[in-house]
Structure 1
Amino acid sequence: MGFLHHGKYFSYFEIARLELFRASGGDYRGMEDAGLFVVVVKAECRYRKPARFDDLLAVEVRLDRISAAKILHSYEVRRDGESLASAQVTLALVDRAGKVQPIPDWFREVY
């Protein structure tokens, strides 16, 4: 098969972020039902070495900062302990109309 497509890393980052939120007691479906949606406002990735088809990868996610309206996560993709890629993704919360909303206190408490 060859190399993992560079865009696929962002799918892995999202899965890791969702699992972190869930493990912390967060509920994305409940947020969306309440009219709050998480959107990516900035994403950057530094690729060091390629992953190959069928590699067993570990994705580490860390919450770096929550400001009044933004959430910053960092990610590291490893294969056998070796760093293949690192990334930072900035998120915001928006309402149903797409208007940026302040990060609620309950969201901060979950993390």
Structure 2
Amino acid sequence: MPESHEIEIRVRYAETDRMGLLHHANYLVYFEMGRTELLRSRGVSYRDVEDSGFLLVLVDLGCKYKRPARYDDLLILRTSVERVTHVKIIHRYELRRDSELLAEGHSTLACIDRSGRPQPLPALLRGGEQGDPY
């Protein structure tokens, strides 16, 4: 079972478009929030990763929009680690309002050093003895 974490997000007025719907670009911002909080739930921050000399860069990102979210909706974002390779972490996302699926997405992060060269994931991202991510 992949590691997952859920966060609540309230749609703010500034995140909506003229039609009162959550602007499509903000779904991707929410996905980043989910990745950050999943990592934090495991006792690690992006700052920890960067302070260790590693950067995690997006190499693939996608979203399928199913239903619109609106101003003041209370949403639940579930972020899951789908797969971890030597240098990459693949996440999946499900954004819901109550039980209704609004959007689903994916992202792939690659680990690089400060000069941009691919690097093996550092130990703090590889997980424990069982190879569990994070």
Identify the TM-score tier after normalising by the shorter chain.
over 0.9
Q: Does 1:54 align with 2:72?
A: yes
* Unpaired segments ≥5 residues, structure 2: 1-17, 128-132
Deviation sequence 1:32-71 (CA, Å, 0-9, x none): 1121111110001110011111111110000010011111
Identity of aligned residues (%): 47
User: Structure 1 length as normaliser, TM-score?
Assistant: 0.93
Once the two structures are superposed, the pairs formed by residues 1-111 of structure 1 within 5 Å of their partners are 2-109=20-127, 111=134
| RMSD, aligned α-carbons | 1.3
Q: TM-score, normalised by structure 2?
A: 0.78
Q: CA deviation at 1:108?
A: 1.3
Helix, strand or coil at the partner of 2:24:
coil
Structure 2: distance between partners of 1:16 and 1:107: 16
Moved more, 46-55 or 28-37: 28-37
Amino acid at match of 2:60: K
Specify every segment of 5 or more residues in structure 1 that has no aligned partner in the other structure, as ranges: none
Q: How much has 1:29 moved relative to structure 2?
A: 1.1
- Equivalent pairs counted in the alignment come to 111
Cα distance in 2 between the residues matched to 1:50 and 1:27: 31
